[in-house]
Structure 1
Amino acid sequence: MNDGEWEEKKLGDIAGFFKGKNISKSDINEQALTPCIRYGELYTHYQETIREIFSKTNLPVSQLVFSKKNDVLIPSSGETKIDIATASCVMLDNIALGGDINIIRSNQNGIFMSYYLNSAKKMDIAKIAQGDTVVHLYSSQLQQLDILFPSLQEQQKIADCLSSLDGLISAQSKKVELLKEHKKGLMQQLFPSSEANK
């Protein structure tokens, strides 16, 4: 395959599928030792690439399923079909993965796959999700997705390009937040409160 050529295959033909094991809210503890990802965090805390983990658990290791670097994670349940159609690539080994997470493991570039699934395939994934009040997405459905992918070298180039843009967006967002805090502090200094005049 040339760098510019894209090949079409079923996702199930190029990847293995696994499920996480249940980690409830009560199992989360800041002082715990095992970093973990719960399914709801996939659409509230994380984007296409996961390099830092926010939650930890003390559940016994024997009760957990762990990530391999490059795994692509998609929630298997959620509130809306669009929310559930969210892919993230975990770039760390040995992260405990909670229940209601579809784990996609392949030798393709996971970051590329996350960006691809979140853009070109987002609506297709939302369409195959089932349910109204609680939406479910099964690995058997994901395996049937037709996907296009270029050579590994081209996947890396695309992943690097989009990741660098995300890095710039994140840096700018932090600058904006700092400026807002600075403005707020400055306004408090410039304008005396009615309490201070009493």
Structure 2
Amino acid sequence: MSGKEAKAVVPKLRFPEFREAGAWEVKRLGGYLVGKPEYGVNAPAVPFQENLPAYLRITDISEEGKIVKSNRVSVDLRAKREQYLSVGDIVLARTGASVGKSYKYRSKDGKLVFAGFLIRIKSNPEKLNSEFLFQYLYTGRYWRWVEFSSARSGQPGINGAEYASMLLPIPPELSEQQKIAHCLSSLDEVIGLQAKKVQALKQHKKGLMQQLFPAEGETTPRLRFPEFREAGAWEVKRLGEIYRFKPTNSWSRDQLNYDSGTIKNIHYGDIHKELNRT
């Protein structure tokens, strides 16, 4: 992009109280930050220890911008106060396949020192709501910029100066930023709760399957519906005894078509397209 800032824009959907507030401006991110983007600590990770600072690396950030705590590590150094993340700080991946990935620090994640392949930015709270910025980092517009800016020979990457030069569409009123941030972050909370419910159901199903199917070496499942409790043991057969396999055929793909063929047939690449239409 050129050095000029882009023209003002108006979102297609806007909260009623801001419909007459004027167009959004498109400004360089650096003008809305406290200081310049900062690089993390260049030190190797060590096994997690309570007496050492917890270490945040690119691999510790999920696709949803949450911290992955299943493989916590530490960094062996006497960290200074400014090396720890503060509430509202956003870190951005600067290199590799994860370039552009982001994480917004939350106090519930505990004290964290961020690694050297991450860049920290601090929004100026009088100009830019940090949650509004974080939500923007999941838009298609942002990821198109990442793809364009990181397209280099060799490993892709975006440095701190390039992040600061990114054009950001921003409402003229801070209150509109806050309203958008609250709306989208509330949805994130609902999504997170639903994800936990889904995970719990998956675990429940897994437990049921272990009991509804006989364990290895057994012929009777441990859990059975009442009407089948006296139905006897399950048989163990080879799949070929109960299912007729056709190793090859002379039918064309048009004839083996789910919608209009002689035989309804699902090809490997058609599974999601044909069977998940609801």
Q: TM-score, normalised by structure 2?
A: 0.60
Given the alignment of the two structures, is residue 35 of structure 1 paired with residue 54 of structure 2, yes or no?
yes
1:142–1:194 Cα change, 3 Å: closer
Q: Does structure 1 residue 60 correspond to structure 2 residue 50?
A: no
Q: Given the alignment of the two structures, is residue 89 of structure 1 paired with residue 104 of structure 2, yes or no?
A: yes
- On the 8 A contact 2:87/2:105 being kept in 1, the answer is yes
Matched, 1:118 2:128: no
Shift of 1:87: 2.4
Tell me what 2:119 maps to: 102
How far the C-alpha of 1:133 sits from its partner, in A, is 4.8
Task: Give a deviation string over 1:28-62, Cα, whole Å, max 9, x none.
Answer: 415454233112323xx263466989634252224
The alignment partner of 1:186 has SS state of helix
How much has 1:18 moved relative to structure 2? 0.8
CA contact (8 A) 1:37 1:53 kept: no
**TM-score, normalised by the number of residues in structure 1:** 0.81
Aligned to 1:196: 218
Q: Comparing both chains, which one has the higher relative contact order based on Cα–Cα distances under 8 Å and sequence gaps of 6 or more?
A: 1
Question: What's 1:76 paired with?
Answer: 94
For 1:195 and 1:51, the matched residues in 2 are separated by 38
More strand by share: 1
Residues 149 and 53 of structure 1, relative CA distance in 2, 3 Å threshold:
farther
- CA offsets, 1:163-198, max 9 Å, x none? 111111111111112112212212222222341249
How many residue pairs end up in the alignment?
191
SS at match of 1:179: helix
- Is residue 2:170 matched to residue 1:149? yes
Aligned to 1:19: 39
Do the aligned residues in 2 keep the contact of 1:109 with 1:155 (CA within 8 Å)? Answer: yes
| Deviation string, structure 1 residues 147-170 (Cα, Å, up to 9, x no partner) | 111222222211111111111111
Give the SS at the match of 2:137.
Answer: helix
- Cα distance in 2 between the residues matched to 1:61 and 1:137: 28
Question: How far 1:99 sits from its partner (Å)?
Answer: 0.6
Structure 1: distance between partners of 2:166 and 2:204: 48
Amino acid paired to 1:173: A
Q: Deviations over 1:58-88 (max 9, x none)?
A: 5222478222221121101122xxx312222
Aligned 8 A contact 2:29 2:163 in 1: yes
Question: Do the aligned partners of 1:85 and 1:118 also contact (CA within 8 Å) in 2?
Answer: no
> Counterparts of 1:38 and 1:17 in 2: how far apart (Å)?
17
CA distance in 2, matches of 1:176, 1:135: 35
Residue segments in structure 1 that go unaligned for 5+ positions in a row: none
Aligned CA RMSD, in angstroms, stands at: 2.9
Query: 5+ residue gaps in structure 2?
Result: 1-16, 221-278
Shift in Å at residue 95 of structure 1? 2.2
Instruction: Classify the secondary structure of the residue corresponding to 2:41.
Output: coil
Report what 2:258 is aligned to: none
